[in-house]
Structure 1
Amino acid sequence: MAKRACALHILVKTEAECLALKQQLDRGADFGKLAKKHSICPSGKRGGDLGEFSKGDMVGPFDKAVFSGPLLTVQGPVKTRFGYHLLKVLYRN
């Protein structure tokens, strides 16, 4: 079972905004560019790059999505106390 992962994410305040961004991504928009423009997380400046982190480092719903969802596929909206996330897991190990 994977204990570490690397992921990108976009954090926004509303589910509607999250769904609109996901539609753009589904049509081929660049994840990093959308993160830089829309994410309210400081990681947005890095294209949403969270770097590598351990299982349990992130809030529950986010952690569950990262460690159980598909690789290299945009997931979301994932609701946490911070807002709504779109995430893309780059790798797990």
Structure 2
Amino acid sequence: MLYQSPADFCAKYAKVRNRDKAGGFGEMSTLDKVTVVSETSDTARVEALWYTSGHDPDSGYYDAFERVAFVLVKRHDGWRLHSEENLGYEDN
């Protein structure tokens, strides 16, 4: 998919993904924010932060933030998604 700018990617990602999603064990994830963390003339790094909460019978209630990073590259016709990386969880 082609984007006009890294900010355009953020807006479209948030629009498409900004709804709660349930996991297999009843946990709920909500998109917290999407931001451009760095940008040069030909590459950009964007991070999305997901908030997840739930209950595990063995360990009780939990909540955590999951970060996902995206690398965008600029082409002659606009910005394209180059890669996506799961950065793991952070305890809240």
TM-score (norm: length of structure 2): 0.26
Normalized per residue, the structure richer in strand is 2
